[in-house]
């Protein structure tokens, strides 16, 4: 299996592919639709369901606590087209014959998806900015919460891309990613519903993306949770390269 070119942190070919994918995403109505959903859902969650104005504390933790739930639908929409559509239209065969390594292709898809997610996160910045006059918010805490959201999204995007590469069409990629992400986001809630044995409860917490995001939502930079997101993203990307390699030689 080919790896990225030595001496290049991000190969130029991967960046070129990412730019191509971002350009394609700019013409996808689903991306704009899910972007609006993300902004509306997180705002309604914060101001209406979490009742920010009657909380009596200047904290954005309830706002960011809704991000894992929103990502269950947002991430599949971003990633569903990446590989499934290429496979459906047959353009994946063209990509595999071009002078790109598996890592070039996977990183290109990942970076383009990450760019879309970053755009969505930037659109949420007016929410904390509009609330600054209402209390003493700590900039460091808000920054930590955004870093956590980016790390959570990176891990979820990597998983969504892997599932898209295993699907034959966009619908299958969306449904598969949504179901798997829902399970990985909410599996830690089983500890609150059932009296699970200690080792099973610990395992559920370990594989739960939402559980590892909790420290970031509190404004705490935990290296263990950050390492989990980074390593899980790398694992999913590596598995994605193996799927692409199998498709190339099958």
pTM given for the model: 0.89
For the segment 94-110, the average pLDDT, to the nearest whole number, is 82
CA–CA distance, 215 with 148 (Å, rounded to integer): 8
CB 171 within 8 Å of CB 87: no
pLDDT at 89 over 50: yes
Span 12-29, pLDDT tens digits: 788 888 888 888 888 889
Query: Would you state the pLDDT for residue 56?
Result: 67
Query: Would you state the pLDDT for residue 10?
Result: 56
Mean per-residue pLDDT over the chain, rounded:
86
Name the pLDDT band for 91 (thresholds 50, 70, 90): low
For the segment 242-248, the average pLDDT, to the nearest whole number, is 81
What percentage of residues in the chain have a pLDDT greater than 90?
48
Name the pLDDT band for 101 (thresholds 50, 70, 90): confident
For the segment 50-69, the average pLDDT, to the nearest whole number, is 83
Span 120-134, pLDDT tens digits: 999 999 998 888 888
For the segment 172-178, the average pLDDT, to the nearest whole number, is 93
pLDDT at 97 over 60: yes
Name the pLDDT band for 213 (thresholds 50, 70, 90): very high
Determine how many CB atoms are found less than 10 A away from the CB of residue 205.
16
Domain boundaries of the chain, sorted by first residue:
12-249
Name the pLDDT band for 249 (thresholds 50, 70, 90): low
pLDDT at 6 over 80: no
Closest to 59 in 3D by CA, of 222, 213, 226, 219: 219
**Helices 170-186 and 67-89 sit at what angle, rounded to 10 degrees?**
150
Closest to 217 in 3D by CA, of 61, 26, 83, 44: 61
Query: Would you state the pLDDT for residue 117?
Result: 96
pLDDT at 35 over 90: yes
Span 148-161, pLDDT tens digits: 999 999 999 999 99
Determine how many CB atoms are found less than 10 A away from the CB of residue 228.
20
pLDDT at 106 over 50: yes
CA–CA distance, 160 with 154 (Å, rounded to integer): 10
- For the chain, the maximum distance between any two Cα atoms, rounded to a whole number of angstroms, is 60
């Amino acid at each position: 299996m080919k790896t990225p070119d030595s001496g290049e942190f991000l190969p130029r070919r991967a960046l070129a592919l990412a730019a191509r994918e971002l350009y394609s995403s700019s013409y996808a109505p689903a991306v704009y639709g899910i972007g609006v959903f993300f902004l509306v859902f997180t705002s309604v969650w914060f101001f209406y369901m979490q009742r920010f104005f009657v909380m009596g504390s200047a904290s954005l933790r309830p706002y960011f606590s809704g991000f894992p739930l929103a990502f269950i639908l947002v991430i599949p929409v971003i990633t569903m087209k990446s590989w499934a559509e290429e496979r459906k239209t047959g353009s994946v065969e063209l990509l595999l014959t071009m002078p790109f390594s598996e890592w070039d292709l996977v990183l290109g898809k990942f970076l383009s998806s990450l760019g879309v997610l970053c755009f969505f996160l930037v659109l949420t910045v007016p929410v904390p900015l509009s609330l600054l006059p209402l209390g003493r918010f700590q900039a460091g805490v808000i920054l930590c919460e955004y870093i956590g959201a980016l790390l959570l999204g990176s891990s979820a995007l990597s998983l969504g891309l892997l599932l898209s590469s295993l699907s034959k069409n966009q619908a299958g990629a969306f449904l598969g990613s949504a179901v798997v992400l829902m399970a990985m986001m909410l599996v830690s809630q089983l500890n609150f519903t059932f009296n699970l044995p200690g080792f099973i409860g610990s395992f559920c917490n370990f594989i739960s993306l939402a559980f590892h995001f909790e420290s970031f939502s509190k404004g705490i930079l935990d290296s263990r949770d950050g390492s989990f997101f980074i390593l899980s993203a790398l694992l999913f990307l590596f598995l994605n390269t193996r799927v692409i390699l199998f498709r190339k030689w099958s």
